[in-house]
Amino acid sequence: MHQTAPFPPPPPPLLRCQGLHAYYGESYVIQGVSLAVADNEILALLGRNGAGKTSTLRAIARARQPELRQGEIWLAGMAIHTLPAHRAARLGVALVPEDRRIIPGLTVEENLILAQIAPSPGWDFERIYAHFPRLAERRRQEAITLSGGEQQMLAIARALARNVKVLLLDEPYEGLAPQIVAEIERLLIELKRTGLTVIVVEQNAIAALRIADRCVILDNGAVVFEGAPSEVLADSRLRRDYLAV
């Protein structure tokens, strides 16, 4: 009998988190979270306030808090769960926090120059400004005077100025007008087309689901759902119980 060749196994995930348990002091904020993100994928990490979303991003970025007491984090086959934040960043993990952390007193371009000082520089100015034309127009402007949407673009561009493999976005749409949210959405889809992997934490769940390939929902620090955005949009109970939408 003729035997067909077996299908090749799927490629390993770019980022894999296994059994993460983390604490702020004695507050148990991440309770066994496991997730995987493929190369060139956008994952929406959703849940109500206090569900553990930001804490999970910070654990992946190897921030000092929360304290990761158990679990493994692998990036492109390399263990990073024992590394400090600066070494994880050099390997390609970039966290854009909710407050954006734009440096006052510096122009847009000076903020980008500082990001490129670290080893393994990423995008050059030409590539950044091609994707962020608004920043090109304001390159000499003091960055802290930009609008909220422009500051968010600068925070993302600053991450890309380093050699980023996985971009972690914490509430990128916070406080932005709907038309600016749509602009950021288009930008993230463009970045995915360049090969970037993105995890986005966002209270505006519907907006996050519009651009996501997959969705993970957390509740009380644990995963309660993993699947396609279409499943979440079709399940009113799931949205009501865990997303309040």
pLDDT tens-digit map of 90-121: 999 999 999 999 999 999 999 999 988 766 67
Q: What is the pLDDT of residue 162?
A: 87
Cβ neighbourhood burial of 178 (10 Å; 0-12, 13-18, 19+): exposed
| Residue corresponding to tokens 């926090």 | 97
Q: Read off the DSSP letter of residue 142.
A: B
The pair of three-digit structure tokens given for residue 198, joined into one six-digit string? 């993105």
- The stretch 176-196 carries a mean pLDDT of 92
Q: What share of the chain in percent tops pLDDT 70? A: 94
User: What integer pLDDT is reported at residue 10 of this predicted model?
Assistant: 62
d(CA 189, CA 166): 14
Q: Which of 101, 68, 105 is nearest to 83 (CA)?
A: 68
Question: What pLDDT does residue 9 have?
Answer: 59
Nearest C-alpha neighbor of 136 from the set 145, 125, 147, 146: 125
Q: What are 216-244's pLDDT values in tens digits? A: 999 999 999 999 999 999 999 999 999 98
CA distance 127 to 59: 30
Say yes or no to pLDDT of 1 above 50.
no
pLDDT digits over 36-64, tens only?
999 999 999 999 999 999 999 999 999 99
Average pLDDT (145-171) is 94
Q: Is the pLDDT of residue 204 over 90?
A: yes
Judged against a pLDDT cut of 70, whether residue 129 lies above it is answered with yes
Average pLDDT, integer, range 116-145: 89
Residue 139 in tokens: 């390159």
The pTM of this model reads 0.92
Average pLDDT, the chain: 93
